[in-house]
Amino acid sequence: MANRTIQFCGYAYGNVPVQLNAHINGQTVFSGTVATLDEIFPVLPIDMTAAPVLFSVLESALFPTSFSGAYPMTVSVATGYGIILGNTNSNYMLSASNQVEFSGSISGTTLNVSSVTSGEILPGQTIYNNVITAGTTIISGNGSTWQINGSHSQVTSEAIINGATFVTGTVDQFNSCFNGTPTNSESTEDSRSSIQINGVPQTPPRDSNSSGQWTWLVEAGSTIEYNFNVSVGDE
């Protein structure tokens, strides 16, 4: 089983290099200076889509490919003016391919398909909706009748069912490290939740159910603290 590398993206500002000290679950994961722009802070919000990697946590045993959960994390900023934190990315993220949407029902180990809206049903696909047991996979079959692993309670006829083959990414393929599963402490898709800066709780910059990553400005001499949430996959 591989260990993941986590990338923390953002910008650092100052007339001297910014020093960062990062801890995850009580372990020091980064301590050093980062590439720094000799500029004052811009007015937020700014476009963070092209933000570079500020620092990385390389092949950490904290994050095997099977890990799904949250750790407490802090980032302390010294020297310069400070940082603006953006996205967090991970390699080896499970992602979906061969996606399909269809209508049908399940009885025992038999999946009966009435219609296919998009994609193609294939053996090996994991199927899911709001009532299907997690990990349900198509074993064999064709046409309108397929066999699935295990025995399942009746799924109502004409239920909308989604399916996909899930593929683990590679060492050099990075995607958002969190997609809202498991649900973080604010029920959002942000990899950071329950954020405090210098011990003061922070309110997300948009509504309480913002999607994606929020952007946080942390001045020199300050520490940002949060639950760092990581998923198995990006789908």
Query: Residue 156: what pLDDT?
Result: 84
The pTM is what?
0.79
| 90 touches 175 (CB < 8 A) | yes
pLDDT given for residue 210 in this prediction: 56
Q: Which of 53-57, 163-167, 180-184, 213-217 has the highest mean pLDDT?
A: 53-57
Give residue-wise pLDDT tens across range 36-51: 999 999 998 899 999 9
Work out the average pLDDT over 15-39.
98
Q: Which range has the worst mean pLDDT, 100-104, 117-121, 208-212? A: 208-212
Number of H helices, E strands in the chain: 0, 15
pLDDT for the residue numbered 207: 52
How far from 167 is each of 14, 93, 177, 234, CA to CA, in Å?
42, 8, 15, 11
Q: How far apart are CA 93 and CA 7, in angstroms?
A: 13
CA 93 – CA 8 distance, rounded (Å)? 15
30 vs 160, higher pLDDT: 30
Q: Where are the domains of the chain?
A: 6-93+169-230, 95-168
